[in-house]
Amino acid sequence: MKYMKMAAIAMMALALFSCNKKNEPKTEAVLKICINDAELRTLGDKYNAGDQTTCESDVKITLDNGTEITLEGQDLADAKDLTKGYKKDINFVVNTVSLTANGVINTTTNITTLQGKNLKTEIALAAPATPVKVSTEGDKTVYTVILEPKPAVARLEVSGKIKGQPNAANVNAFQDITVEHVYVNNYLSTIDGTRHMCVTNGKDGFAADPALEGAMNDEIKAADKDAFEKMDKVAGYYLFPKKAKETPVAPDYFDHVILKVKITYTPEAIALDPTLEQKTVRFITIARFMITEETDLDGGFLAGVIYKLDLNELSKDFKTGDDGKPDPENPDTPDPEPNQKKQLVVKVKPYTWTAQNIKPNINGGYKK
């Protein structure tokens, strides 16, 4: 019996040794991490093509066994050097590595708290659990991973000048169209929450309940008017992409852009229609966007992409009728979010990986 017990113990020890040996590195192991944040580019106010959003603060990597490592100082600098990488001696197997930086966006993060943040340094980034590549250097097993963190939000930039168009006889009913406010409506308040619709068929303009979110509403002040129209300054917003189970439903689709405009008509147009003097404060609600095909952005804006809406592209839709008066089919309405089922179809012309110029294409797309 004694010998049987000793034999059993020996067999257990051998089995345990075999299991451990299978899952452990040969002798020593090194974890090598590189952070490739060079693709996080943006255009902004006033960001330039090629600007980068980089991992700057609260940079935390998490291994598949739950180990967390904070990168800062020289360690962070090494990780961002793709020829070098951050290296750490370890004594366990690594399968995947994930990362968060510049803060964390979770299910309770309200999109309003992100507005106005510096896109280069303050927008939270995350890289999902990424498999490592295993190699050997001498007697060491090396686990190497290159992380490519991405933002969880899209960015929408609005700026430019709307100009009324003359008719075939070169008669223009519009003297000036000035954008006074830009507001985003029907957006996701949290990444997995409900859509926030402050204005629903907003009688009396923005005087609606609930009140407008200040963070999503830009007043184009007189001092900024010229820069806004020249696109030197933009009304910029961060937006969560649509939830996985959300489907686009006309006429609301997803994120809306509401413009409050002041229209100055020509004396000739007012003479033809004196009621125009009571139609100077108007609204334009853009509820649908597109890139090249009418449905290609019905799925909403994508995280990590900047969508740029040049308001000059709306100019073609402010027409003067053959009678010298504003065309009644123009996209302006007396109130935002009207219920008549019409949407603006907005084209998006892509630039680099994140920048896409937006220009509208009227095809029953204005919400009226």
The list of the chain residues with pLDDT below 50 reads 1-6, 8-10, 12-22, 39-44, 349-353
CA angle, residues 243, 341, 255, in degrees to nearest 5: 30
Nearest to 314 by CA among 216, 214, 174, 201: 174
CA distance 237 to 143: 39
pLDDT at residue number 343: 52
Q: What is the pLDDT of residue 164?
A: 98
The conformation of residue 112, written as its DSSP 8-state character, comes to G
Model pLDDT, residue 43: 31
| pLDDT score at 316 | 94
How high is the pLDDT of residue 304? 85
The domain segmentation of the chain, as residue ranges, is 27-151, 154-361
Q: Is 227 helix (H, G, I), strand (E, B) or coil?
A: helix
- Give 261-288 pLDDT, tens digit per residue: 999 999 999 999 999 999 999 999 999 9
What is the pLDDT at residue 292?
79
The fold for domain 154-361 equals Immunoglobulin-like (2.60.40)
Helix (H) or strand (E) holding 21: helix 2-23
Q: What is the identity of the amino acid at 206? A: F
Cβ atoms of 62 and 174 closer than 8 Å:
no
Specify the pTM: 0.79
Measured distance CA(55)–CA(346) in Å, rounded: 33
Rounded distance, CA 26 to CA 6, Å?
A: 29
Give bridge partners of residue 60 from the DSSP assignment. 70, 100
Terminal-residue alpha carbon distance, the chain: 92
Do residues 221 and 230 make contact, with C-beta atoms less than 8 angstroms apart?
Answer: no
Asked if residues 324 and 316 have their Cβ atoms less than 8 Å apart, the reply is no
| φ, ψ at 332 (rounded to 5°) | -75, 145
Q: Report CA torsion sign: 37, 291, 298, 238.
A: positive
**What pLDDT shows up at residue 197?**
81
> Cα(139)–Cα(27) distance, rounded to whole angstroms?
7
- φ and ψ at 27, to 5 degrees? -135, -65
User: Residue 25 and residue 246: Cα distance in Å, rounded?
Assistant: 45
DSSP 315: G
DSSP label of 2: H
